[in-house]
Chain A
Amino acid sequence: MSRDRVLATIRASLGCSEPEDEERVAAVERRLAAPLRHLIPACASRPHSERVGQFTRSLREQSAAVIEAAAPGRIPEAIARYLGEAGLPLRLKLGADPFLAALPWQETPALERLQGPAGPGDAVALSSAGAGVAETGTLVLLSGRDNPTSLAFLPETHIIAVAEAAIVGALEDAFDLVRARLGRGAMPRSLNLVSGPSRTGDIGGRIVLGAHGPRRLAVIVYKTDEGAVGAP
C-alpha cells in the first residue's frame, strides 16, 4: 500500500526503528496540543490604539477602500453611500449573519438585500469578518451559512464589515480568536484571509486588479461599545 510505503521510506530515511520511539511521538503530540508561538514582529504587537490606524493604512496600500462607521447602526448608510458614489448597483448579496441581519436596514430603503451564497449574477456582496489583523491589513472570514465563502470571490465588489474591537495585532492572535470561538482543533470549512482585492501581475509584470475575484474591496470598520480584544 502506497501510504505504508511512503511512511516506511520516511522512517528509514530518518533512521527510526520500529516501534516508534515514544519521545518523538510525545514531542509531536505536545507541539500539536500546545502550538508554539514563534517570534512575533513588533509591527504585529502594537497597542490597540495604534492598530486601527495600521490596519487602515495597510488596506489602503493594498488598494482597498476603508470606511469608518461610528456605530454598527451606521453601516447600512455607509454602504449605500459607498455604492452610490462608485456608481454601483444598490443591491447586496449576504448570508444569514445575525449581526448583519440586525442592522437598521429600514433606514436605507433603496438598498436591496438578497440572502444566500453568491451566484454569477451578483455584483455586490457583504460579509462580516471574524477579525482583522493590523500587521498586514487582513480580514479573517469564516465560512458557513452566516457568511458564505462565495460572497468573497464571485461578485466584482466585496464589502466586509469588521468591528474595531476585533482588530488584533498578529495573525496568531486571529487564530486564537477563532479557536476561542469554535473550540480547539475546530476550524470552519474555509478560513479566508483577505488582504485586498484580487490582483495579478502575470500580464507583462503590471499589477491589474480584479483578476478572478473582486475588483473592489471596501472595508467598513465600525465602533462598538465593547472593549477591544487584548486591549489596550
Chain B
Amino acid sequence: MTQRMLDFEASARAALADASLQRALAGLPGGLVAERAAAKARLPEFEALRDAARDIRDHTLRNLDLYLKAFERRAAASGSRVHFASTAAEARDAILAICRAANATLIAKGKSMVSEEIGLNSHLEAAGAEVVETDLGEYLVQLRGERPSHIIAPAIHIDQAQAAADFRRRHTHLAQDRRLEEAPDLVAEARAILREKFLAADVGITGANFLIAETGAAVIVTNEGNGDLVALLPKVHIVVASIEKVVPTLEDAATLIRLLARSGTGQDMTAYTTFLAGPKRDGDPDGPEACHVVIVDNGRAALLGSEFREVLRCIRCGACMNHCPVYNAVGGHAYNSVYAGPIGAVLTPALIGLGEARDLPNASSFCGRCEEVCPVKIPLPKLMRSWREVDFARREAPLAARAALEAWAFCAKRPRLYHLATRLAVLALKMAARGRGAFGSFPLARGWTRHRDFPAPQGRTFHELWAKTKRGASA
C-alpha cells in the first residue's frame, strides 16, 4: 500500500501550529497526570494491584472463548439477546437490524469507543435515524462533526470558549444573547437538551467497560450518569462491546475497577458504576423491554495469536495518552485514528492494517511512561517496536528511512567501522563548531535547531570515554 490514509507527520505539524489546541492541551492532560499520581499515593497497594490486574486479563485472554460462552449463557438466561459480529460491517448491520425492528427514529448513545471503531453513527444515520451522543464530551464532538480526541475525555481538545461558540452556532432555537460565560451555563443547556432526547429515544446504545461471565451483566462506568439514562429509558437497550471486554467474575471486575478510575481521572471511583443484566423483569417499574449485547471481534481474535496479544489487556483508562509526550504535544486528532496515543499506536495497525497506520508506532520517543502507568502493564514500547520491525521487514517503509536504518545497521554490526565512523564524525563536528559549545543551526537538522541548540562534541566519542573511565579513572 503506497497511498497512506494516515499522514501523522502532516497532522502533527498542523496540531503544533494550532494555538487553541495548544491552549487546551496545556491544562489537561497534565491535570489528569497529577490526579492519578495523587490517587496512587493514597493507595499503597497500587503496584501490587497492577500485577493482579495483569494476571486477571491474561487469564481471561487465555480462556477467552470459554468466558465468552459463559457470558453468553448467563446473559441469555437474564433475557438478553447476544449477537456475535466478526467484522465491523456485521456489527453495524446487526445493530441496524435491531433498530429497524424497533422502528427507531431517535437513538440515544452512551460513550462507546468500539462504536466509533465500527463507524456506527454514520451507518445508522444513513438509514434515516437521528443519533444523539449523550456524554457531554461526545455530544460536543458530534456537534462539531469531529471524532473524540481522547478515550475518556473526548473533547479534551476544545476549550470552554469554543464550546460556547459551538452551542450558539448549533442550538439555534435558543436566544442568541443567552448567558454562556461559565462551564455550568453550558452544562445546564446541554442537560436540558439531552434530557428531552433521553426521554424521546426509541433505542439506547451504550458500550461496556466490562462483561461479567459469572452474571451475564454488562458494566457501564460513567461520571455523568448518561450511560444509565440511555440504558434505562428507551424501550430497547443495545450494548456494543468488543470480545476482550469479558472478565470472569465480580471479584475480577472489582480489582480492575479499583485501577480504572484512579488511572484515568485520579478518582477512587467514578460517580456511577452500573451492572446491567437483561431487560425489565416481572414487577420492575422501569427498565427497557428488550436488551441486546453485540459482541464485536473486528480483528481481535486473530490478534490474540500474535506477538501483539498483550494489547488486548487494555481497559481503556487513557493513562497512556495523558502521560505521553507526543500525545501532549499534538493531541489525539493528529493520530487520524479512532484510538490515539500509545494504545492507538499499537492497536490501530492491528485494526486497519500497518500500511495505513505505519506512522503511529513511530510516533513515540520510547520514553516508557505509558508502560509505567498502564494499569494492566501492557508493554506498549515493546509492541510499538515490534510494529516497526514488522514494517521494516516488509520493506514498505519510505526508501530514505530504510536506507538510513540499513546504513546504520551495517556500521553497528562492524565495531571497527563504527568506531572509526563515530570518531571521524565527532572530529568533524568539533572542527566545524570552532570552539563554540553548540550549533545554532545545522544542515539537515533544522527541525531540531529551530527550537534548541545542537550540542557540539568535545572531541571524544562515547566509546573512548567509556574505555577510559572503565579503567577506574573518573571522567
Contacts and interface: CB of A to CB of B under 8 A. Distances in A.
Contacts of A118: 286
A28 B254 contact: no
Interface stretch (B123-131, B171-179, B277-285, B329-337): B277-285
Interface residues of B, number: 103
A27 B194 CA distance: 46
Given A189-B78, A201-B265, A13 B277 contact: no
Nearest to B288: A189
A13 B305 CA distance: 4
Contact of B49 (A36, A39, A149): A39
B155 interface: yes
B436 interface: no
A82 interface: no
B281 A189 contact: yes
Given A27-B63, A187-B275, A206-B160, A199 B223 contact: yes
Contacts of A153: 225, 228-229, 232
Contact of B304 (A13, A145, A214): A13
Given A170-B254, A203-B136, A2 B90 contact: yes
A73 interface: no
Interface residues of A, number: 79
Contacts of B155: 202-203
B422 interface: no
Nearest to A184: B214
B159 A204 contact: yes
A123 to B, nearest CB: 13
Given A25-B66, A205-B31, A208-B183, A10 B301 contact: yes
Interface in B226-263: 226, 228-229, 231-233, 243, 248-252, 254-255, 257-258
Contact residues of A: prevailing secondary structure: loop
Contact of B284 (A14, A24, A189): A189
Given A2-B84, A136-B269, A149-B228, A198 B223 contact: yes
Candidate in A42, A203, A210 with the most chain B CB atoms within 10 angstroms: A203
A35 interface: yes
Given A2-B90, A205-B27, A205-B156, A195 B65 contact: no
B250 A213 contact: no
A41 B262 CA distance: 14
Contact of B232 (A41, A135, A150): A150
26 contacts: A5-B86, A24-B63, A31-B249, A37-B251, A38-B49, A41-B45, A62-B271, A143-B286, A145-B284, A171-B254, A187-B275, A188-B277, A190-B275, A190-B276, A192-B274, A197-B271, A200-B187, A202-B140, A202-B155, A203-B140, A203-B155, A203-B183, A205-B27, A208-B187, A212-B198, A212-B226
7 nearest A-B residue pairs (beta carbon): A213-B225, A13-B305, A204-B160, A202-B137, A211-B224, A9-B301, A35-B249
Given A189-B277, A211-B223, 14 more contacts: A9-B301, A13-B309, A38-B52, A39-B45, A42-B45, A150-B233, A150-B286, A171-B258, A189-B78, A189-B278, A200-B136, A200-B187, A203-B160, A208-B184
Interface of B: 27-28, 31, 42-45, 48-49, 52, 56, 59, 62-70, 74, 78, 83-86, 90, 134-137, 140, 153-156, 158-160, 163, 183-184, 186-188, 191, 194-195, 198-199, 213-215, 217, 223-226, 228-229, 231-233, 243, 248-252, 254-255, 257-258, 265, 268-281, 283-287, 295, 297, 301-306, 309
